[in-house]
């Protein structure tokens, strides 16, 4: 409850600061041109699937995810999905959405992230109140951990039930994708070549279940860490290979000391870039 009050206070303060001429965030196009929220929302609402890439503890990103979902719901039928729910928790999530179990029971039956109450419960509860499907798209973390230790081959001996909770084996993987190569450079010694493979197991699985729950004519909004959908890689790479006809849209979240101009390193990360002040309040 204290966290919810803190977040509510932060949002009120954010609007107060904006009214005084200083915004806690700025939206940009992929080329670095400032753009209004309304323009971004209307453009992305025409897509088939939209990826809202977040920084998991960024309060502005979570607030805008909720606003974006509500606004898109005014003109499109929705399907929601999230990295934060692993596929083997889909049954518990569905039972909660259907009103068959309480929020407390969901907490005990599913592996909820520590920031679920403040950052993801509002989205799930909105889906519940408005009968919107919500897909648990991620591979169970214990299986991604297997890949991190032993590569994709570690998945081969799993029972059939476990394999139902991930993309079909063998998973396609391109080690030359810049994002995966960058992981090796940023985290040397943390699993070696298996580290990006574990990331790929998540990307491939999220793409697989997004397509499973995607309904033609409806807008699928997917919430994930921004790294999973930046630069047309990650989840988008898998979707573009299997369903190139789908209209994909993306938002990336970045932080800067000054949001007045998008830094060159962030340009092109997504169709739209949510640029947040570096000293913004975090949710954990």
pLDDT tens-digit map of 83-116: 999 999 999 999 999 999 999 999 999 999 999 9
Beta bridge partners of 194: none
The pLDDT score that the predictor gives to residue 37 is: 98
Q: Residue 68, Cβ neighbours under 10 Å: how many?
A: 21
Answer whether 59's CB lies under 8 Å from 280's CB: yes
Average pLDDT over residues 173-178: 96
Does residue 260 have a pLDDT over 90?
yes
Q: What is the pLDDT of residue 114?
A: 96
Write out the H or E segment, with its range, that includes residue 88: none
Give 192's pLDDT tier (boundaries 50, 70, 90). Answer: confident
Residues whose CB falls within 8 Å of the CB of residue 121, separated by 6 or more in sequence, listed in order: 103
| Domain spans of the chain, in order of start | 25-277
Confidence of residue 5 (pLDDT cuts 50, 70, 90): very low
Q: How far apart are CA 174 and CA 193, in angstroms?
A: 12
Q: What SS3 class is residue 53? A: strand
In this prediction, what percent of the chain has a pLDDT beyond 90?
88
pLDDT attached to residue 275: 98
Which CATH number describes the domain made up of 25-277? 3.40.50.11550
| Three-state secondary-structure class, residue 248 | strand
Q: Return the percentage of the chain with pLDDT > 70, whole number.
A: 91
User: Rounded mean pLDDT of the chain?
Assistant: 93
Bridge partners of 255, per DSSP, are: 276
Query: Lowest mean pLDDT: which of 30-39, 92-101, 117-126, 182-191?
Result: 182-191
Sign, Cα dihedral of 117, 74, 239, 163: positive
């Amino acid at each position: 409850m204290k966290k919810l009050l803190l977040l509510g206070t932060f949002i009120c303060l954010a609007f107060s600061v904006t009214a005084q001429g200083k915004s806690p965030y700025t939206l940009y196009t992929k080329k670095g041109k400032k753009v209004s929220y309304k323009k971004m929302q209307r453009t992305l609402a025409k897509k088939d699937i939209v990826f809202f890439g977040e920084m998991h503890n960024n309060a502005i990103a979570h607030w805008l995810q909720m606003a974006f979902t509500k606004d898109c719901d005014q003109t499109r039928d929705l399907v929601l999905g999230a990295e934060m729910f692993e596929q083997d928790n889909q049954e518990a999530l569905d039972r909660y959405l259907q009103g068959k179990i309480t929020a407390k029971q969901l907490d005990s039956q599913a592996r909820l992230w520590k920031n679920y109450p403040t950052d993801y419960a509002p989205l799930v509860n909105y889906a519940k109140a408005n009968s919107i499907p919500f897909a648990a798209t991620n591979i169970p973390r214990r299986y991604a951990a297997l890949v991190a230790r032993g590569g994709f081959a570690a998945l081969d001996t799993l029972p059939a039930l476990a394999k139902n909770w991930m993309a079909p084996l063998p998973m396609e993987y391109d080690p030359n994708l810049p994002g995966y190569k960058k992981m090796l450079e940023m985290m040397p010694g943390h699993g070696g070549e298996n580290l990006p493979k574990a990331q790929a197991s998540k990307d491939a699985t999220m793409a697989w279940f997004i397509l499973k729950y995607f309904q033609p004519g409806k807008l699928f909004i997917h919430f994930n860490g921004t790294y999973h959908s930046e630069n047309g890689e990650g989840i988008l790479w898998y979707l573009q290979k299997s369903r190139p006809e789908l209209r994909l849209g993306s938002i990336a979240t970045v932080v800067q000391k000054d949001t007045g101009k998008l830094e060159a390193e962030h340009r092109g990360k997504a169709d739209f870039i949510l640029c947040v002040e570096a000293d913004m309040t975090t949710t954990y």
